[in-house]
Structures are given as C-alpha cells and as structure tokens.
C-alpha cells in the first residue's frame, strides 16, 4: 500500500511519538497556576484524570477513521471488483474494532472515577457502543458468507449503509440524552469540545494533537501490516488449492 | 442482433472456472456448449443471460451495429435452466401471466400461452399448482415460459433433463424450429443434443 | 413507465403469494401475540410511564419486523426463484416492488400492534392522535426500507435468521430512538407541532436510506 521508506517513517514515528506522549502525558505535573511549559493547569473536576485526554480521545478518533477508511475501500471495491481493496477494507475494520474496544475500556475506566459508574449512556458512550455494534455486525456478516466475491460485495454494501446513519447519530444523540462528557451541552464549564475552550493550556493542546498524529500513524502502520498479511494469506489459499 | 464474446473468464474464490472463451453469434446461428460436469457450462449460460457478472473479458450484444447493454435486452432473452425455478404456489397459467406482467409485456400472451401449453402437453394441467407438477412437467413449463415472449436470444441449459422420450422428441422439434429465426445457445453434455447446433465450443475443466 | 408497471407487478406477485402461503403473516401474528403476552405477564398490574410504554411498543415492532420482513427475499433465494425474477425484472423494479410490499406489511403490523397495546395496556392511550399516526406512518416506511435492503443481503448469507436483527439494529437505532420520543409525546398529549423535529428526522432518514439502498441494490441483487 505504501512505499518501504515511508512505512518505516510511519512505523518509527508512531512508536516515538506515542512513547513521548506516554511519558510526557503522565509525568508532567499539575499546577494551580502553571508558569512554564512543563506544568499542566488543574482543570476543575478533572484534575489528574484529564491525562486520559491524550489516550482515550485519539483511540476513539482512530476507531472512527478506521470506519471511514473501511467504507471508502468498500466503495472502491464495488467500483473495481479488485479483491485487494476488500482486503484493505476488512483490515481497517479489524483495527477499528480493536481501537473502539480500547476507547470503550479507557472511557469506561475514566467514567468510573469521574462520573461514578462505568457506563452512563452518555451520547458519546452510546455512539462508540453503536460503532462497536456495527463492527460486530460487519464481521458476523462476513463469517456467514462462503464465496469470497459475495462476502466482499455484501460487506462493502453494509459499511456504506451503516455509514449513512452516522450523520443521524451525530445529530440525534445530543438531543436525546443528557450529556456528561466534558464539553457536552449540559456541562457547566461551557459548550463545545474540551480542547476548544480556554481551559486547556497550549502545552496540553500540543501534546494532544501530537498524540492524535501518533495514533493515526500507528493505525497506518498496523493497517499496512495487516494488509500485507492478508495478501499473503490469500496467495497461500490460491496456491494451496 | 449480434453477440460477440471475447476472452471471457470467470473465477469463484480465485479459482478459475473457465478462461479465454471467445465466439461470436449472429441471428440464425446456434451454438452448443459442451464440457464435463463442473466445466462451467451453466455458469457461462448465466453470464450470457446477464444473471452473473464475468471476472474478465467482454460480452457485447449489438442490434444493427449499435451496442446494447444486456440489461436492456430483458424482453429479448429466453432461458431454460435447472437453476431457474417457477413459483410453486401458483398455477402454470398464473406463473406465466404474473411473470409476463413483471416483464411488462402481458398484452398478447393469452393466445401465445394457450398455443405453447397445448404444444407442450400442459393445457389440461394449466390450472394446477406447479408444486403438484412432476419434474418433467416442470421442465416443459420452463420451455413455455422461455418461449412465451418470442425472444431473439434463446439459452437452453440441459434441454432434456427430467424429460421422457416423448418430451425429448418434442424439445428436439421445438429447437429445430426455433433456431431458424433466433440466436440459440444450448449447454449440454449429450452428444446428440450438441449436434442440433451449427457451432460448438468445448469447455475444459481447469 | 415500464419500470413503474413492473414494480407494481412485483408487488402484486408478492401480495398474491403471501395471501396463498401466509409465511410472513403467520410469523408476524404469532410473534406479536407472544410478545404482548410476555410483556403483560412481566408488567402485571404496574402502571408503566408513557416513556416505558412507547419503548415497549417499538421493541415489539422491531423484533416483529425482524421475524417477518426478510421473507420477501429469503423465500425467493431458498426456492431458487430469484434467478427467474432477475430474468424478467430490472433491479429497480425488484427493489421498489419488494419495498412497497414490505411497507404494506409493516403498516399492517404496526396497526395490529397498536390495537393490541391499546387493549392490553390500560396506560397506552394515544392523546395526540395526529402525532401518533404520522410517527407510525413515517417509521413504518423507514423500518421497511432498512429491512428490505438488509433482507436482500442476508438472503445471500448462510445464517439468515440470527443475522438479520444483528445487522439491522445499529442502522435502525436513529429511527427507533426518534420514533420512541415522538410516541412518548403522543402518549403524553403534547400538541402535534411539538414533534416537528422528529418528523424531520424521520423523513430525512427515509430519504437517505431509500436512496442509498437503491444505489447499492444492484451489487446485492446480481451475483
């Protein structure tokens, strides 16, 4: 899918960036009135739990990116009937499943300490839950079809159909249920996602975006690995019979 | 009407069924597709009738030199195939009228269906449910259904399966007569049936 | 024009077939009765709130739809008649014919469930009739639309029955949530205009899913 050198850059880059975020995100101390770049401000109600921002949010982000990559390659498959596109689509869906599980777990742990329960049916919790359901349904469908072409075609159609409902969820969720998420409409501290308010210092912001970049690169690297493994499997199937 | 097939190939699960099939047919041509079980005769017929997509190669239908997509030829195609079933819960007559209505050419089928049902010896049974038919009668009914709308393209897969001696000779007569003003394709592994056609291709098992 | 006539003929064929065999209707009726009895046994003499009742209503609708609406495509595939249909009808005629059939079936189903709920649950009283009518009408169309394309998909898969609700649920969540909210408003006697946002959501859901299904149906239908 990518050139050899660029994949090396992605590989080492993602490891480097995530390691840096891990260390910096956990080690930088909090301070009531931050003076230097090496101090985070204390966000009322979040305190040390704010550090989850650097991990949980990029994981959810990656899960969503993976879904769209899967849908785009599904469409590409339908247009070209090139089975390699299906391979990319299913690999991306597999990673999406992994990342949405990770995001759900980190989110639930965080919710336990911040909101008092692992699960609250907050709009965003519900959204990631639906994403998990979609991934689950996608793989259930794939395992129920023997023919390779049919499997590729029908699962591509399913990702497209489920993609169509995403705007509705984005629109409906916040209206239907009270939000608990930092930055949700009901939150006393304000409107809009947390990192768009001035409660977050610029050093947190830099680290957050760095983490987004790192996780996205990590996703690209894993995707590349899985696609190559998938190709080998297909070749083996072909030559084995 | 002209049919040109070039380098046609079909794969299932990356396994080749057949490859490099090429031929061309014009009106009044007839083609026999022969080959062992599993050589892809039925698959080829389905692809020609537009019911299955090909993996590689091309099929081009043209009328007066202008290419026409197979989707536009729905009322020009007649097909008899073991994979083609009629509705069990309807009678023979209902099947014919419902399916013609879906094809939206129900206008003069009354006389035509009577004629064909009589020819194939099903007229007395026209108001009985297809579910009560024997497999030979179902095969006869498939011919009636395939010929009802006077298609230019007639595809017949295993023409005499399930038929008794009388049915076989009936089908032979019908095909002899039909091939005079149609494009006829017969898929079979019976030597005599292949002899009904002027051209022949043999599919080898890959 | 031809497609329109052909669509109508597909609908007619399915309706006639259903009247003869009663496959879908039998499954639906049995399901609805069973579900209503189970819910009634669970609730006993409690007086559930309107939100709970409208939730129960749509739960029964969802699972009933999942038990019956796949018939249109599954029966064609099981009996080998889908090739016959493919031979005589254009994909759009098949899609819209089957969709219309499922819309009719869902409307009948929802009317039956409404009557049953009104009889069985004393708390289920529709205060704003207009809101309820429009909600059920729009949701039936949306539900039928999603069910139809998914039925076409699972007809080609091996495990048909169990897979159907699994595939349908994530896609139907927006519809079901909206329908529940509007139904609660109808039971609470809120004025018709209060549910305007819900109508808008339902209408756009129908348009998006139907247009999307129409565009991808070719890929599902043709092997």
The reported pLDDT for the residue numbered A241 is: 52
pLDDT confidence bin for A180, thresholds 50/70/90:
low
Neighbours of chain A (3+ CB pairs under 8 A): B, C
Q: Does A149 touch chain B (CB under 8 A)?
A: yes
As a whole number, the mean pLDDT across chain B is 91
The reported pLDDT for the residue numbered A240 is: 63
Instruction: Give the chain B residue nearest A145 (alpha carbons).
Output: B13
Cα gap B23→B8, rounded to integer Å: 10
Considering the domain B27-38+72-203 in this protein, what is its CATH number?
Answer: 3.40.50.300
The stretch C170-176 carries a mean pLDDT of 94
Tell me the nearest-neighbour CA distance from A223 into chain B, angstroms: 23
The reported pLDDT for the residue numbered A194 is: 57
Q: Which position has the higher pLDDT, B202 or A192?
A: B202
Among candidates A145, A164, A165 on the partner chain, residue whose Cβ is nearest the Cβ of C157: A145
Give the model confidence (pLDDT) of C187-212 as tens digits.
999 999 989 999 999 999 999 999 99
The stretch B126-147 carries a mean pLDDT of 94
Residue to substitute from C219, C221, C223, interface A, most A β-carbons within 10 A: C219
Lowest-pLDDT range, A79-83, A204-208, B199-203, C150-154? A204-208
Give the model confidence (pLDDT) of B138-161 as tens digits.
999 999 999 999 999 999 999 999
For residue B57, give the nearest of B123, B111, B8, B108 by alpha carbon. Answer: B8
User: A-chain residues within 8 Å CB-CB of C205?
Assistant: 165, 168
The stretch B81-86 carries a mean pLDDT of 94
Is residue C136 exposed (0-12), middle (13-18) or buried (19+ Cβ within 10 Å)? buried
C154: its two tokens: 């699972």
Instruction: Give the chain A residue nearest B56 (alpha carbons).
Output: A81
B154: its two tokens: 């007639």
Tell me the nearest-neighbour CA distance from C20 into chain A, angstroms: 31
The stretch C51-78 carries a mean pLDDT of 92
B163: its two tokens: 């038929």
As a whole number, the mean pLDDT across chain C is 92
Considering the domain A4-239 in this protein, what is its CATH number?
Answer: 1.20.120
**Beta strands B153-157 and B77-80, pairing class:** parallel
Tell me the nearest-neighbour CA distance from B91 into chain C, angstroms: 11
The stretch C11-30 carries a mean pLDDT of 90
Its pTM stands at 0.91
Instruction: Delimit the domains of chain B by residue range.
Output: 27-38+72-203
The reported pLDDT for the residue numbered A199 is: 58
The reported pLDDT for the residue numbered A192 is: 44
pLDDT surpassing 70 at residue A196: no
The reported pLDDT for the residue numbered B131 is: 94
User: A-chain residues within 8 Å CB-CB of C177?
Assistant: 172, 176
The stretch B157-179 carries a mean pLDDT of 92
pLDDT confidence bin for A188, thresholds 50/70/90:
very low
Are C205 and A168 inside 8 Å of each other by CB? yes
For residue B89, give the nearest of B139, B52, B129 by alpha carbon. Answer: B129
The reported pLDDT for the residue numbered A25 is: 84
Are A158 and C167 inside 8 Å of each other by CB? yes
Cα gap A55→A60, rounded to integer Å: 9
Neighbours of chain B (3+ CB pairs under 8 A): A, C
Query: Could you report the predicted ipTM of this complex, rounded to two decimals?
Result: 0.92
The reported pLDDT for the residue numbered A190 is: 40
Instruction: Give the chain C residue nearest B46 (alpha carbons).
Output: C83
Lowest-pLDDT range, A83-92, A158-167, A185-194, B172-181? A185-194
The stretch A181-188 carries a mean pLDDT of 54
DSSP helix, strand, coil percent of chain A (3-state; round to 5)? 75, 0, 25
pLDDT surpassing 80 at residue A175: no
The stretch A37-52 carries a mean pLDDT of 77
Cα distance from N-terminal residue to C-terminal residue, chain A:
26
Cα gap A78→A89, rounded to integer Å: 11
pLDDT surpassing 70 at residue A182: no
The reported pLDDT for the residue numbered B106 is: 61
Q: Contact, C110 vs C172, CB < 8 A?
A: no
pLDDT confidence bin for A197, thresholds 50/70/90:
low
Highest-pLDDT range among A68-77, A109-118, C29-38: A68-77
User: A-chain residues within 8 Å CB-CB of B53?
Assistant: 81
pLDDT surpassing 70 at residue B102: yes
pLDDT surpassing 50 at residue A186: no
Q: Which residue has the tokens 């982000």?
A: A61
pLDDT confidence bin for B23, thresholds 50/70/90:
very high
The reported pLDDT for the residue numbered A191 is: 41
pLDDT surpassing 80 at residue B33: yes
Instruction: Delimit the domains of chain A by residue range.
Output: 4-239
Share of chain B above pLDDT 70, in %: 99
The reported pLDDT for the residue numbered A214 is: 93
The stretch B130-138 carries a mean pLDDT of 94
């Amino acid at each position: 899918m990518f050139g050899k050198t660029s994949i090396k850059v992605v590989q080492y880059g993602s490891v480097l960036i995530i390691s840096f975020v891990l260390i910096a995100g956990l080690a930088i101390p909090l301070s009531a009135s931050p003076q230097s770049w090496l101090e985070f401000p204390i966000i009322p109600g979040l305190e040390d739990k704010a550090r989850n921002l650097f991990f949980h949010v990029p994981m959810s982000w990656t899960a969503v990116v993976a879904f769209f990559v899967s849908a785009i390659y599904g469409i590409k498959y339908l247009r070209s009937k090139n089975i390699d596109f299906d391979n990319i689509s299913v690999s991306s869906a597999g990673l999406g499943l992994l990342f949405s599980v990770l995001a759900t777990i980190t989110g639930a742990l965080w919710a336990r300490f911040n909101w008092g329960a692992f699960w609250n049916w907050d709009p965003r919790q519900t959204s990631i839950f639906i994403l998990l359901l979609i991934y689950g349904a996608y793989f259930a469908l794939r395992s129920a079809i023997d023919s390779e072409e049919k499997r590729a075609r029908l699962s591509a159609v399913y990702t497209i159909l489920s993609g169509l409902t995403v705007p509705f969820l984005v629109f409906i969720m916040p209206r239907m249920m009270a939000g608990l998420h930092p930055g949700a409409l009901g939150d006393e501290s304000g409107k809009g996602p947390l990192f768009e308010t001035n409660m977050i210092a610029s050093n947190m912001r830099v680290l957050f975006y760095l983490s987004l970049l790192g996780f996205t690169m990590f996703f690209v690297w894993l995707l590349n690995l899985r696609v190559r493994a998938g190709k080998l499997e297909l070749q083996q199937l072909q030559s084995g019979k | 009407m002209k049919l040109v097939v070039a380098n046609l190939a079909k794969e299932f699960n990356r396994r080749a069924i057949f490859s490099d099939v090429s031929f061309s047919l014009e009106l009044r041509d007839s083609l026999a597709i022969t080959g062992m079980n599993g050589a892809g005769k039925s698959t080829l017929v389905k692809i020609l009738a537009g019911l299955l997509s090909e993996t590689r190669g091309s099929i081009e239908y043209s009328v007066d030199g202008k290419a026409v997509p197979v989707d536009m030829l729905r009322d020009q195609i007649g097909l008899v195939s073991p994979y083609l079933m009629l509705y069990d819960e309807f009678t023979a007559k209902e099947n014919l009228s419902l399916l013609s209505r879906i094809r939206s050419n129900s206008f003069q089928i009354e006389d035509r269906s009577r004629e064909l049902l009589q020819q194939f010896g099903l007229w007395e049974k026209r108001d009985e449910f297809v579910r009560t038919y024997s497999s030979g009668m179902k095969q006869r009914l498939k011919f009636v259904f395939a010929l009802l709308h006077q298609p230019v393209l007639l595809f017949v897969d295993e023409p005499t399966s399930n038929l008794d001696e009388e049915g076989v000779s009936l089908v032979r007569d019908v095909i002899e007569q039909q091939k005079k003003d149609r494009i006829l394709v017969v898929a079979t592994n019976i030597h005599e049936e292949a002899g009904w056609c002027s051209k022949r291709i043999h599919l080898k098992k890959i | 024009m031809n497609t329109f006539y052909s669509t109508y003929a597909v609908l007619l064929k399915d309706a006639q077939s259903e009247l003869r065999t009663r496959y879908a209707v039998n499954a639906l009726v049995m399901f609805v009765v069973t579900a209503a009895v189970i819910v009634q046994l669970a609730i006993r003499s409690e007086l559930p709130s309107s939100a709970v009742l409208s939730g129960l209503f749509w739960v029964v609708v969802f699972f009933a739809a999942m038990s019956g609406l796949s018939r249109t495509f599954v029966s064609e595939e099981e009996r080998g008649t889908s090739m016959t249909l493919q031979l005589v009808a254009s994909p759009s005629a098949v899609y819209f014919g089957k969709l219309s059939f499922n819309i009719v079936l869902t409307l009948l189903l929802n009317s039956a469930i409404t009557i049953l709920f009104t009889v069985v649950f004393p708390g289920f009283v529709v205060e704003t009739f207009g809101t309820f009518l429009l909600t059920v009408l729009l949701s039936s169309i949306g539900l039928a639309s999603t069910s139809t394309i998914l039925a076409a998909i699972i007809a080609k898969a091996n495990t048909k029955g169990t897979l159907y609700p699994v595939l349908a649920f994530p896609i139907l969540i927006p519809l079901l949530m909206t329908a529940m909210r509007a139904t609660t408003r109808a039971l609470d006697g809120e004025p018709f205009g209060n549910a305007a946002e819900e109508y808008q959501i339902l209408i756009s859901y129908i348009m998006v899913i139907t247009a999307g299904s129409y565009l991808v149906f070719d890929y599902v239908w043709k092997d």
